Chains A and B, each alone.
Chain A
Amino acid sequence: MTCSPSKTEDMNTEILGIIAQIVLMVVLSYPLGKYIAKVYKGNKVWSDFMKPIERTIFRLSGINPNEEMNWKQFLRALLVVNLFWFFWGFVLLGVQGYLPLNPDGNIGQTAHQAFNTCISFIANCNEQHYSGESNLTYFTQLFVIMLLQFITAATGMAAMAGIMKALGEKSTKTIGNFWNYLVLSCTRILLPLSLIVGFIVITQGIPMGFEGKIEIKTLEGSTQNVSQGPVAAIVPIKQLGTCGGGYFGANSSHPLENPTYLTNMVECLSILLVPMAMVFAFGFYVNRKKFGYSIFCVMLAAFLIGVFINVSQEMGGNPRIDAMGIAQDNGSMEGKEIRLGAAATGLWSIATTATSNGSVNGMHDSTMPLSGMMEMLNMQINTWFGGIGVGWMNYFTFIIIAVFISGLMVGRTPEFMCHKVETKEMKIASIVALLHSFFILVGTALAAYLYVHAPSFVENEGRWINNPGFHGLSEILYEFTSCAANNGSGFEGLRDNTWFWNFSCSIIIIFSRFIPIVGQVAIAGLLAQKKYIPESTGTLRTDTATFGIMTFAVILIVAALSFFPALALSTLAEHFSL
């Protein structure tokens, strides 16, 4: 097939577009990281005018933000506040039909559905087994969905701030105040950024108002009811907080949630902005900039590999369609939006899975098998920038394992940031690393087992899978991977609003969210309590390229290789069948 000049030109524009987005992400995240480090350190920053508001919040809730907590108190506060907001959301979703801001007259969610929604949103997963247009009101969109998106993002950031405090000090029993970090994350970081992004997307036509559905006449002459509402309030935090729970069911492929190439750029950029900045923030906070850069480089390299594969897969198109003699100049366009294009969708699919965002601007189920594999691998590894705060924390777990092995290799009892890594920390780090694979593989195996051995049960559940064969296994694997990574995106071919999926997904979501956070904060707390060991020339340096490669290798072998058999039977088998 020959390339027409216009095709090459289009391709160049598309590629230029994604390069611009990636460069912008990196360039913007650097100063943001510097700013975040200052905020958590309590240094003077331009946003100090927010102080009176914060003081009022603390006074109203009776909290002393200067009270130092040890890691156990810190975690207790974290878990209690999350439990509170879970019940808050559960009750409001149930009674939303009687609450104001409900012009479309939507009714309350069933207990079953509300339970799943709250679990999913409290875990920053935002897996949606509902559709925003019909199962939420404007009130719950704002005071459950949007509120939880702020709070869960801030929870991850606060946990990471506690870890930074623990690692940054010579020897300490306390790791800062959870409430203080939580409030600062909202008022100083998430809120200002959301306002900026919100302003940009409103100018591009994303609706912001409280009127109900409007009736329009389409070009064909028929009438259509179009949902609207306070969309522009939710879109920014959904992207910035690695939340991903869209206002509309179709998420950012919906024209009112992502109308133009510019909104697409801003939204895609927002996915990675804060997770990237958090990595820089770590380097600045603990005053080891080089270490921050080296972690950033490892993550960026892994991210770019994913971008390269998916963009080239999606722009290349499906060989089966080629075989039919049909031109696909724009690449594989199944499940994609014409206004965004294959390249931008390929980039987004990597950005949203590398972080635990999970918003989509095209259907992952329709991406090429290798793209699907990269999307899954990103979530199975779950640390290439990752969820806001927690992505870096997952990397921290792998660093502990890498430090242990490489510390031995240089002939010293392993140390990380001047503290000895011993049995207890190893135990926690290994368990956290193991659990992720465990949940995904056991979940997938269970579903596959039921599918083969209990067909009547699956039949009652609506047969689950639309595309049997290798792709069906991909759909199952993707669903559990997405839950365990708190990502929330789906291979939508799976009929997942059933008893089995709601139940098994909820369990995996909640455990995968809180066990790692507890473990990682505990490791940092335990390390910080230990004696400070000054560095010498015999000490293993963690800010070198060698150590970066070592960590990368550990992540690939521990996290990625355990999925090799499962991926071989699903996406790889599909790919080689093309």
Chain B
Amino acid sequence: MKTDNKTSLFQKDQIIESIKQSFIKLNPRIMIKNPIMFTVEVSTFIMLLVTLNSVVSSSQGSFIYNLLIFVTLFLTLLLANFAEAIAEARGKAQADSLRKTREETPAKLIVDGKVKNVSSSQLKKGDLFECEAGDVIPADGEIIEGLASIDESAITGESAPVIREAGGDKSSVTGGTKVLSDHIKVVVTTQPGESFLDKMISLVEGASRQKTPNEIALTILLAVFTLIFLVVCITLKPMADYTNTNITIAAFISLFVCLIPTTIGGLLSAIGIAGMDRALRANVITKSGKAVETAGDVDTLLLDKTGTITIGNRKATDFYPIDGLDKRSFIEACMLSSVSDETPEGKSIIELGRGQGIRMRTLNTEGAHMIMFTAETKCSGINLKDGTQIRKGAFDAIRNIAKEAGNEFPNEIEGIIQRITSNGGTPLVVCINKKIAGVIELQDIIKPGIEERFERLRKMGVKTVMVTGDNPLTAKYIAEKAGVDDFIAEAKPEDKMNYIKKEQAAGKLVAMMGDGTNDAPALAQANVGVAMNSGTQAAKEAGNMVDLDNDPTKLIEIVEIGKQLLMTRGTLTTFSIANDVAKYFAIIPALFMLSVPQLSALNIMRLHSPESAILSAIIFNAIIIPILIPLALKGVAYKPIGASALLRRNLLIYGIGGLIAPFIGIKLIDLFVGLFF
């Protein structure tokens, strides 16, 4: 039930809810959190009083004129609230669709060894429950007994089932997912309503959203701008009196509201919520808005080779029999050794053999005994009925087998191995009856398009580091081929940790992705740690984001989402402040034109009348907010063209654009308003 990423920006029910919220948010106690819009609210209230007063007295301008100004200001408030509300509604809709999967489900609680049927909401941390094929897992937990294949499509959208088993890195299960086969016992790891996902979902909804440090700094800057313009407007009164200029309250309030950065002020929190929402749409849940911002600053990206840079696992690409052995029988032996080998490498050997024209049917495996791979022997294989032993495995493991039996390790084979390794491949040596028979070449397949993505990252100023268990030679080959900047070969978990610490000591911000328990310390150490949803609870707790898709390339997207978030803030601030120039030229002449006719020279837009000029300016000020809502929600497009070029581009679009747009907008509105005033 993966949510559709292409849902339109505005949906009917969301809009209705947001309109309702726009009014609720008028409550001054909520409003004061946004100092800029709060001053607008106070101004609106003053305008209300002025409007009511103008029913009986016309010293402050006509009733209709005051009323129009009041209505426009009120609309400005509602539109700003609407922007925030619609961002929240979209986040909430996304969260609801996640949560729907987690509603009341029956749970099989185990109490004193007996199974008791309860509701999932009654499960507490530490409780034990069991699940069988067809059951929906009622709560987050860890498998303590058994193995099961689980359909996690409810949260990841990935239809292929995954295997979860007790012990190790794949023991955690998520509430709402469905058991497809087998039987597991699970211990609950969270309190009801406080599961990891629950906590994160509430963040996205904005309920417990806190302002990020960057947002606070920007709010301070905007608040100071507001203060400056408050001073400008208040001090203008005595100066106007000195020159015998009468300025109405409506004009003062309009000047003030137009000058303060209402555009960015009204959209600021919507931008923040939308940033987290965009992450969620990419199926990444972030623990805080700060994590998304930090992602935009990342300097170094640690990426696992497998799954990120290369497709899944290695694939067999060639067979090299020893001199004197017929290639066909060597391939048969290889295939026999892999008949019941479930590893991707094993499967790829069968596949390659078939491709070379050998049919599975011709292989006689009756009465054969399979030898599974273990960490100790480092090899796997088959014992046939006739006593033939076939083994395949790492080169030193097979060499030991041969040497123990007194057989030599031919130089020829060493040569083949050398050649394969230097090409970035992995050799798999095969022996028949403890005699070396040949080598299978396994190769990593680099994901198509990954080079371009790394190039993109390089232009963003992000250094990519490949982490792999391969030997340095293989690692170097793949690193060069894929275009990563650095690599860690034969990596152990502590190597990752050390690398992160080294980079951080040089002042860099590091992002990494991980899933295992042994990744947890590194995930916690990294500035941005993305845990895969399939990973252990420990990993998920340690990181500051969870990727529901378990897609290792997600890091790249997360970095862009972070950058987009900051850019959207920056560009809209620039736009908002640049607008002031035109607004000054609309309102200042309007204020003084009657008493100081000479100053109509400043009316460079040739606006129709003082009333029409002021009305046009505040109407423009109000309608620019909804016009920019889609941009605030979608984010400004990020182009990896280097910081200087990006600044130039955004300054041209949003700076110069912000300078010119209101001149055109106000003039157009004035052409219409001028018909009446």
A-side interface residues toward B, CB under 8 Å? 401, 404-413, 418, 421-423, 426-427, 430-431, 433-434, 437-438, 441-442, 444-446, 448-449, 451-453, 469-470, 472-473, 531-534, 536-541, 544, 546-547, 549-550, 553, 557-558, 561-562, 564-566, 568-569, 572-573, 576-577
A569 close to B240 (CB less than 8 A): yes
Tell me the chain B residues, 11-63 only, with Cβ under 8 Å from chain A: none
Contact status A473-B647, CB under 8 Å: no
Interface residues of B in 555-610 (CB under 8 A from A): 562-564, 566-567, 569-571, 573-574, 577-578, 580-581, 584, 588, 591-592, 596, 598-599, 601-602
How far apart sit A205 and B595, CA to CA, in the bound complex (Å)? 53
Q: Do A534 and B507 form a contact, CB below 8 Å, given A411-B567, A452-B238, A546-B647?
A: yes
Knowing A412-B566, A569-B596 are in contact, say whether A549-B235 is a contact too (CB < 8 A): no
7 closest cross-chain pairs (CB), A and B: A538-B461, A408-B570, A411-B563, A536-B461, A445-B235, A409-B570, A430-B224
Task: Answer whether A473 and B228 are a contact pair too, CB < 8 Å, given A409-B571, A422-B213, A534-B507.
Answer: no
Q: How far is the CB of B574 from chain A (nearest CB, A)?
A: 6
Q: Which residue of chain A is the closest to B567 with respect to CB atoms?
A: A411
Contact of A557 with B577 in the complex, beta carbons under 8 Å: yes
Task: Return B15 CB to nearest CB of chain A, in Å.
Answer: 29
B65 within 8 Å of A (CB atoms): no
Cβ distance B174 to chain A, nearest Cβ, rounded Å: 32
In the assembled complex, which residues on chain A have CB atoms less than 8 Å from the CB atom of B231? 434, 437-438, 441-442, 562
Q: Within 8 Å CB of B529, what residues of A?
A: none
Min CB–CB distance B661 → chain A (angstroms): 16
From B133-141, B160-168, B351-359, B648-656, the one touching the partner chain is B648-656
Q: In the complex, which residues of chain B have a beta carbon less than 8 angstroms from the beta carbon of A418? A: 507
Tell me the minimal C-beta distance from B230 to chain A in angstroms.
Answer: 10
Which of A413, A539, A547, A549 contacts B296 (CB under 8 A)? A413
Whole-angstrom distance between the alpha carbons of A556 and B299 in the complex? 34
The interface residues of chain A lying within 8 Å CB-to-CB of B308 are none
| A429 CB, nearest partner CB in chain B, Å | 8
Q: Chain A contacts of B642 at CB under 8 A?
A: 537-538
Is B228 touching A562 in the complex (CB atoms < 8 A)? Answer: yes
| Partner among B217, B242, B299, B571 whose Cβ is within 8 Å of the Cβ of A426 | B217
Contact A445 B220 (CB under 8 A): no
Q: List 29 A-B contacts (CB under 8 A).
A: A404-B218, A405-B573, A408-B567, A408-B571, A410-B650, A413-B566, A418-B507, A421-B217, A422-B213, A426-B217, A437-B228, A442-B231, A444-B239, A448-B242, A532-B507, A534-B506, A534-B508, A536-B299, A536-B461, A538-B643, A539-B643, A546-B651, A550-B655, A557-B578, A565-B239, A568-B592, A573-B243, A573-B596, A576-B598
When distances are taken between beta carbons in the complex, the residues of chain B under 8 Å from A449 are 238, 241
Q: Is the CB of A553 within 8 A of B655?
A: yes
Q: Are the CB atoms of A561 and B217 closer together than 8 Å? A: no
- A437, A538, A550, A568: the one contacting B462 at CB < 8 Å is A538
Specify which chain B residues have a CB less than 8 angstroms from the CB of A426 in the assembled complex. 217-218, 220-221
Residue of A422, A553, A569 most packed against chain B (CB within 10 A): A569
Contact between A566 and B592, CB atoms less than 8 A apart: no
CB distance from A539 to the nearest CB of B (A): 6
B245 cross-chain contacts in A, Cβ below 8 A: 569
Assess whether B238 is in contact with A576, with CB atoms less than 8 Å apart. Answer: no
Residues of A within 8 Å of B236, CB to CB, are 445, 565-566
Flag if B584 contacts A411 (CB, 8 Å). no
Residue of B nearest to A424 (CB): B217
Bound Cα distance from A564 to B591, whole angstroms: 12
B650 touching A544 by the CB < 8 A rule?
no
* Residues of chain A lying within 8 A (CB to CB) of residue B293: 413
Chain B residues whose CB sits within 8 angstroms of the CB of A448 once the complex forms = 238-239, 241-242
| CB proximity to A under 8 Å, residues B206-249 | 213-214, 216-218, 220-221, 224-225, 227-229, 231-232, 234-243, 245
Complex Cα spacing A441 to B238, Å: 10
Q: Is B459 engaged at the interface, CB distance under 8 Å to the other chain?
A: yes
CB distance from A520 to the nearest CB of B (A): 16
Complex interface: chain A residues within 8 A of B460 (CB): 537-538
Task: Decide: A569 near B229, CB < 8 A? Known: A413-B297, A536-B299.
Answer: no
A411-B239 contact, Cβ under 8 Å, with A406-B647, A568-B588, A572-B599 = no
**In the complex, which residue of chain B has the Cβ closest to the Cβ of A536?**
B461
Taking a contact as CB atoms under 8 Å apart, the answer to whether B218 and A470 are in contact is no
Report if A573-B638 is in contact (Cβ < 8 Å); known contacts: A423-B213, A434-B227, A451-B242: no
Assembly CA distance A495 to B187 (angstroms): 87
Q: Which B residue sits closest to A452, measured CB to CB?
A: B241
Q: Which residues of A have CB within 8 Å of B242?
A: 448, 451-452, 472-473, 569
Interface residues in B255-294 (C-beta closer than 8 Å to A): 255, 293-294
Query: With contacts A441-B235, A449-B241, A564-B584 known, is A409 near B574, CB below 8 A?
Result: yes
A577 touching B237 by the CB < 8 A rule?
no
Q: B508's closest neighbor in chain A, by CB?
A: A534
**B644 beta carbon closer than 8 Å to chain A:** yes
B562–A441 CB distance below 8 A: no
CB distance from B662 to the nearest CB of A (A): 13
Compute how far the CA of A453 lies from the CA of B241 in the bound complex, rounded to whole angstroms.
Answer: 9
Which chain B residues in 326-346 approach chain A with CB under 8 Å?
A: none
Given A427-B220, A569-B592, 12 more contacts at CB 8 Å? Answer: A406-B647, A408-B567, A409-B570, A409-B574, A412-B643, A426-B218, A442-B231, A473-B242, A534-B508, A537-B642, A557-B581, A569-B242
Contact with A along B632-674 (1 / 0, CB 8 A): 0000001000111011101100110000000000000000000
CA distance A57 to B2 in the complex (A): 78
B216 and A550 within 8 A (CB): no
Which chain A positions have C-beta within 8 A of B598?
573, 576-577
From A530, which residue of chain B is reached at the shortest CB distance? B507
Q: A473-B243, A562-B228 are in contact. Are A411 and B296 (CB under 8 A)?
A: yes
Q: Is the CB of B216 within 8 A of A564?
A: no
Taking each of A409, A451, A544, A557, which has the highest tally of chain B beta carbons within 10 Å of its own beta carbon?
A409
CA gap between A534 and B240 in the complex, in Å: 52
A404: which B residues are within 8 A, CB to CB? 217-218, 221
Return chain B residues, CB-CB under 8 Å to A405: 221, 570, 573-574, 577
Q: Are A408 and B569 in contact (CB under 8 A)?
A: yes
Q: Considering the complex, give the chain B residue whose CB is closest to the CB of A437.
A: B228
Candidates B218, B591, B601; contact of A408 at CB < 8 Å: B218
Cα-based distance from A576 to B596 in the complex (angstroms): 10
**Per-residue A-contact encoding for B471-508, CB less than 8 Å = 1, 0 else:** 00000000000000000000000000000000000111
What CA separation (Å) do A401 and B234 show in the bound complex? 25
A566 with B239: in contact, given A534-B507, A539-B643 (CB under 8 Å)? Answer: yes
The closest CB in chain B to the CB of A539 belongs to B643
Residue of B nearest to A547 (CB): B647
Chain B residues near A453: list those with CB within 8 A: 241
> Whole-angstrom distance between the alpha carbons of A573 and B593 in the complex?
11
Of A411, A547, A558, A561, most buried by chain B (CB within 10 Å of CB) is A411
Nearest chain B CB to A124 CB, angstrom units: 25
Contact B217 A473 (CB under 8 A): no
**A445-B237, A452-B241 known; A437 vs B563 contact (CB < 8 Å):** no
Chain A min CB distance to B582 (Å):
11
A407 pairs with B588, CB closer than 8 A: no
A-chain residues with CB within 8 Å of residue B238 when the two chains form the complex: 445-446, 448-449, 452
CB-based contact B241/A410 at 8 Å: no
**Contact mask for chain B residues 609-630; partner A; CB cutoff 8 A; 1 contact, 0 none:** 0000000000000000000000
Nearest-neighbour CB distance to chain A for B296, whole angstroms, equals: 5
What is the minimal beta-carbon distance from A565 to any residue of chain B, in angstroms? 5
Please tell me if the beta carbons of A434 and B599 are within 8 angstroms of each other in the complex.
no
Give chain B interface residues in 370-411, CB to chain A under 8 Å.
Answer: none
CB nearest to A428 among chain B residues: B220
Task: Give Cα A438–Cα B233 distance, bound, in whole angstroms.
Answer: 11
Q: Provide the bound-state CA to CA distance between A549 and B652, in Å.
A: 11
Asked if A541 contacts B599 (CB within 8 A), the reply is no
Chain A residue at smallest Cβ distance from B232: A562
In the complex, how many angstroms separate the beta carbon of B530 from the nearest chain A beta carbon? 19
